[in-house]
Amino acid sequence: MIVNIFSNFINSDLRTFLAASVYISLSVGTTIHILLHKDDVKSSIGWIALVFLSPFIGTVLYIFLGINRVKRKGARLRKKSILSGKYSYKIMGNIFRDIPVNYKQFITFGYNVYPQHFVFGNSIKPLQNGVEAYPEMIKAIRNAKKEVLISSYIFDCDNETDKFLEAFKTAINNGVAVKVLVDGIGTLKFFHRSIEKKLAKIKGLEYGVFLPPHIPVAMPFVNLRNHRKIMIIDGETAFSGGMNLSKKNVLIDDLENGVLDITFKIKGPVIDQMSEVFEYDWEFATGKKFRSLFKDLTIIETNTIPARIIPDGPDNKNGIIELIVHGAINMAEKKILITTPYFLPENNILIALKMAAMKGVDVEVIVPDKGDHTFINWAIEPNFLRLVESGVKIYRTPRPFDHSKIFIVDDEWIFIGSANWDIRSFKLHFESNVEIFSKNLAKELTDIVEIKKKIAKLTTIQECKNLPFLKRIRNNAYRLLTPYG
């Protein structure tokens, strides 16, 4: 009996020693990986603390949620670089000749952030809500001659999107190649992508699903979503912005279920750059090589607007869109106008906005008073006081939920697209924005935002300070839950 007790003691001691050894080895190995691959200090400290304070669990969570496997795959696919510079010398010469010095410096900065040139000859028309946008999209699809390319984060299954499916059938019957890319999470409803079944039934249509969540295998990719909205018809007409495909976008008078939004009808050579983004995503999602039928064709210039596509995603180490946003804020001399459904940027952007307001720039931020996720409303509010105290004006629009995304600096520089002002868009999602110089378009968009401001509530310092103590605790707690990489 004594021998058995002694043996059990030795075995218990040995198991403890082995477990401790494995724990230390895993923790040290994970820490080394964090130190080598995480640039953000707060993120690194948080992960290392979790690894050591939560034995084994912290390491498992880091393996599943902290390692960016998309970056590796994306780097391999990026061998066909997304650069369209065939117009570069003529166009850059035109831009540098006519614009202020601060714009010239910003263009140099922007090119160093993402080396893609501006192209002239574009026209860009804003379309508000599905009421304006969907009929034009459907008409373009029905009249397509050879190719329709569509990428949408959300592609709902309802009687409004059925009109798109019918347009696909018409185009295919006319000999058009139709490719549709949907996101694996954005189209997920109750663990079921109903739109996928409908797409599969359309003979001749090709579709792909971006990182479908085969739980638990694909859990690391829950946050790494394709948030882009791109529609290209025959390489001649494109639609891009923040608008998804859903019946909600036509219910503009439904305060609870409706969604207000804006997208843009684009013509001109910048579509060539947009096509490259779609090609990259298609190959990423399906593994099939693809080149648009209309790439590198001679494009008739439709206007004089210079524009370029800025794609971004977790496979880009530096956060391209966030850097462009930060640089544009610093460039501003007169006015900054921001409309976004989610306003949760990191401290560097908040400080830049504060500094802009403090040096006399008119900074206006328009956000929904009540978003589509209650906890997001709570997480947004803690940032308001320090911004308002610095002179930033924050307007909160009433229902329906406004999903519009517009960023204008000094009534000429414009940044539009799929990206929100939050960490998901700046660091975790695949996004696509368009950078534009146009006083006329800036005026048109400013007029649209002014209408939103008329029915909005201006946030005051007193309102922020008078928020009840328990609500302040709740709001700051939810702000800590916003994702970081």
390-403 pLDDT tens trace? 999 999 999 999 99
Nearest to 157 by CA among 240, 245, 69, 39: 245
pLDDT for the residue numbered 93? 56
pLDDT for the residue numbered 282? 96
CATH for the stretch 320-480: 3.30.870.10
Q: How big is the CA angle at 262 (ends 436 and 324), to the nearest 5 degrees?
A: 35
pLDDT for the residue numbered 81? 41
Hey, is 385 helix, strand or coil? Answer: helix
Q: Of 128-132, 191-195, 295-299, 348-352, where does mean pLDDT reach its minimum? A: 295-299
pLDDT for the residue numbered 420? 97
pLDDT for the residue numbered 88? 46
Tell me the average pLDDT across 4-19.
64
CA–CA dist 355, 391 (Å, integer):
9
Nearest to 109 by CA among 304, 257, 324: 324
The CATH class, in words, for 80-105+115-307 is alpha beta
CA–CA dist 193, 186 (Å, integer):
9
341 phi, psi to nearest 5 deg: -75, -25
* Spatial contact of 85 and 117, defined as CB atoms under 8 Å apart: yes
Percent of the chain scoring above 70 in pLDDT: 82
Domains 80-105+115-307 and 320-480 share a fold: yes
Domain locations along the chain: 2-67, 80-105+115-307, 320-480
Q: What is the pLDDT of residues 56-88, one digit of tens each?
A: 787 777 776 666 655 545 444 444 444 444 444
pLDDT for the residue numbered 457? 97
Pairing assessment for the beta strands 177-183 and 206-210 based on DSSP bridges? parallel
What lies within 8 Å, CB to CB, of 317 at 6+ separation is 39, 71
Nearest to 485 by CA among 196, 71, 95: 71
For residue 7, what pLDDT band results from cuts at 50, 70 and 90? low
Q: What is the pLDDT of residues 28-41, one digit of tens each?
A: 888 888 777 776 67
